[in-house]
Structure 1
Amino acid sequence: MNGFKVDDFVAGWIGGAASTVVGHPLDTVKTRLQAGKGYKNTFHCILTVYKNENVSGFFKGLSFPLASITLYNSVVFGVYSNTQRLIRESRTGTERRGPDLVELVLSSITAGFISVGIGAPVDLVKIRLQMQAQPVLSGSSGCFNIWYDILNFIPYTLLCDWLSPGEGAALNPFYICLAGGVAGSISWVTATPADVVKSRLQADSVYQRKYKGIVHCILQSYKTDGLQVFFRGVTVNAVRGFPMSATMFLAYELSLKFFRGL
């Protein structure tokens, strides 16, 4: 067995840093749409942020996730890859083989359980920083939705296998970006309803708290704004998910290739 590999963690850290820089402006727009007030649609939100806060408004809260989400991604990629390798070698005695859905799911769940403790507080602080132009905010964290990050792995791995020219053959950067981008869009669109609830819980007012918990937030949001409220930011998520995830997986794969070529 090849055992534990540290380079997965390092490559995950690099991939996380790259995707954070690329995706943060649209992440700010998404957060404002889901938890803020006065925005008619995505385009109106972008114009309003730019008019009131200039370009710097889109990068509010970047320094914290740049330092911390990179750590989160490092843990996610490191745990996921090492767990998948361990399961595969335990079952077959060899590392190289095509993707197995059981291995992908078990590895994703393991990475999710271990990384959720890092991801939830990071996301909470990021959202509060992004909402600085709104009324004073505080509130509880909806850490359950951290799973949308993990959902990237299964479609990405399956797409890479489908696009691969042959067993063991390396994908070129274009196909890595394509697989990563599609996986990112799928996972973010799928997670949008839960993401809306999470954002609202995290941006709840400290002095006039509206939501008692997850179920209460869902019911109140539906009562006040209708079913469409759970799809606020879905366009931003779909657009944002592609370059973010494409950049993350490309940086990860190229970094891993570099480290293992030393």
Structure 2
Amino acid sequence: MQSSKHFRLDDFIAGWIGGASSVVVGHPLDTVKTRLQAGRGYKNTLHCILTIYRKETAMGFFKGMSFPLASITVYNSVVFGFFSNIQRALNKYRHGDERHRCSMLDLTLASMLTGLVSVGLGAPVDLVKIRLQMQTQMLPFRNDGTNIPLRSIDIPSQRLYRGPVHCISSILQTEGLQGLYRGAGAMVLRDVPGYTLYFIPYAIFCDLLTPDTSSNPHPCSIWLAGGLAGSISWVTATPADVVKSRMQADAQLQRKYKGILHCVLHSYKTEGAQVFFRGVSVNAIRGFPMSSTMFLTYELSLQFFKSL
């Protein structure tokens, strides 16, 4: 499972497997989170869940999942593969041994670099996912030159995007390549500190739950550490995630935000400071099962590859 002495391919494969399992577990709540952050008309989390179920049935929670299932698996493969390999590279450079135990400084640096690298692939993935999840939001129906009356679009023929491929091609035609990276700046602000507060708490909790440093963490310890790390990361990343979601849901036809600062100021002026914590409870809840599944599947996959 190695392509060179220091570069390991099994981390990428394990990340791919973990990513697939986490998408299936977390996508329903991710849809609720996106609707709460970028949509309108929802009083709270429960109201949002009931509204989606009543108007779109249970399938509404899985709207746009085919694209994340295909792409986020690759995304997580890159994230976990890069993180593990950059740790080994730092250990080799700083200590002369890639198996050396990572210091907190090395972990922080590897996490921040991972967050930065992840945006290159993650921004287009998130954009398409969010545009597909927001399909039942409003679209321009008639434009008289002043106000744009809107109506809900529940009939398939009225939907703006027929699927992931059509969504990508439409964005490229109307907004250009930079359109796929709308909200990327906000994603950097979310993911650089977000991944730092993802991998470091995981390492700390694993250490606390595994007193014997010579043994591998127990699956239950991995599951709990991963879940807690996911909740911590997502809760602290919520304000930047709100801005990112709003900018990515801000389609060309209804363009409202000029940039990150304009989005922050406009959201604050119109909805108050609490808007930046919209969906925080959903993030805390969904962060646990998604991350616990991700880390557990990833670690078990690595152990399986090493046993071959």
TM-score bracket, shorter-length normalisation: over 0.9
Correspondence 1:24-103 to 2 at 5 A: 24-103=27-106
Please state how far the C-alpha of 1:113 moved relative to its aligned partner.
Answer: 2.9
CA deviations over 1:68-103 (Å, ceiling 9, x no partner): 011111011111101101111222233444441111
1:33-52, Cα deviation, whole Å (9 max, x unpaired): 00111100000000000000
1:229 maps to 275
Return the alpha-carbon distance in structure 2 between the equivalents of residues 52 and 206 of structure 1.
26
- Distance change (3 Å), C-alpha of 1:163 and 1:2: farther
Q: Give identity over the alignment, percent.
A: 65
Question: Structure 1 residue 8 and structure 2 residue 54: aligned?
Answer: no
> Rg: which structure is higher?
2
| Structure 1 match to 2:183 | 142
One-letter code of the match for 2:60? G
Q: Within 5 Å, give how 1:211-226 maps onto structure 2.
A: 211-226=257-272
Q: Match for 2:222 among 173, 176, 187?
A: 176
Structure with bigger RCO (C-alpha 8 Å, 6+ apart): 1
CA contact under 8 A between 1:65 and 1:122: conserved in structure 2? Answer: yes
8 Å Cα contact 2:210-2:218 kept in structure 1: no
Residue in 2 aligned with 1:123?
Answer: 126
* TM-score normalised by the chain length of structure 2: 0.81
Q: 2:97 is paired with a residue of what secondary structure? A: coil
In the other structure, the counterpart of 1:257 is 303
TM-score, normalisation: structure 1:
0.95
The AA in structure 2 aligned to 1:212 is K
Moved more, 151-160 or 138-147: 138-147
Letter in 2 for 1:135: M
Letter in 2 for 1:252: Y
Cα pair 1:177 1:246 within 8 Å, conserved: yes
Letter in 2 for 1:130: Q
Q: Distance in 1 between matches of 2:90 and 2:296?
A: 25
Distance 2:63 2:288 in 1: 21
Name the structure 1 match of 2:155: none
SS of equivalent residue, structure 2 residue 138:
coil
Quote the Cα distance in structure 2 between the aligned partners of 1:80 and 1:205.
Answer: 33
CA distance in 2, matches of 1:21, 1:8: 20
Q: Distance in 2 between matches of 1:208 and 1:5?
A: 45
Give how far 1:19 is off. Answer: 0.7
Describe the superposition over 1:200-228 as per-residue Cα deviations: whole angstroms up to 9, x where unpaired: 11111422321111000000000000111
| RMSD, aligned CA | 1.7
Aligned-partner Cα distance in 2 for 1:150–1:132? 33
The corresponding residue for 1:242 is 288
Q: Is 1:13–1:73's contact at 8 Å kept on the other side of the alignment? A: yes
Distance 2:71 2:85 in 1: 21
Give 1:155 deviation, angstroms: 1.1
| Alignment partners' CA distance in 1, 2:251 and 2:118 | 27
Question: Which of 190, 194, 198 is matched with 1:152 structurally?
Answer: 198
Distance change >3 Å, CA 107–CA 170, structure 1 → 2: same
Higher mean C-alpha displacement, 197-206 vs 247-256: 197-206
Contact 1:9–1:78, Cα closer than 8 Å, also in 2: yes
